[in-house]
Amino acid sequence: MTIICVLIVISGFSQADLIAEKDNIKKLILSAYIDGIHNKGDIAQTEKGFHPGFNLLILQNNKLEKLPIYNWIESSKERKAKNPIPFTDEELTKCEFLDIDISGTAAVAKIKLSKGGKDIFIDYLSLYKFDEGWKIVGKIYYRLP
């Protein structure tokens, strides 16, 4: 219990504040990323939740590639144009929050994505809290076998 109290004091949040901040981050991820990029194609929500400097970092063939948010939005638009929404329930991307770690104005969310009952990715989303609220600033991932 002492360790938990010390960690809360170090983070600068009361327990209630920490719960509220985690809820804010979950809502942001669900609206901007899960619905915005994956399910509904709501680009306005995506642009609201992602910082313009966001990069998706991709590890392929032992090389690191960057995909800026504007490129990711364009590819998402193209994908949605080929497969108009709404998706069936089996086609929807589902999100399970595995962990959210917050230190002041920085946070990392670990989430598991699934589709059609099959787990497909573990994502690590980096966030910063700006004056206007939390923004997703980076992502790395692991594609599940």
Nearest partner of 50 among 141, 130, 122, 143, judged by Cα: 130
CATH of the domain at 133: 3.10.450.50
Query: What Å distances lie between residue 130 and 16, 36, 105, CA to CA?
Result: 20, 20, 8
Tens of pLDDT, residue by residue over 77-97, are 887 777 766 677 888 999 999
pTM of the model: 0.86
Q: CB 120: neighbour CB atoms within 10 A?
A: 15
Per-residue model confidence as pLDDT tens digits over 33-52: 999 998 888 889 999 999 99
d(CA 90, CA 123): 20
Q: What is the pLDDT of residue 11?
A: 54
Residue 2: predicted pLDDT: 46
Domain count, the chain: 1
**pLDDT confidence band for 32 (50 / 70 / 90):** very high
Domain hosting residue 14, numbered range: 2-143
Predicted pLDDT at 85: 60
Is the link from the previous residue into 68 a cis peptide, with omega within 30 of 0? no
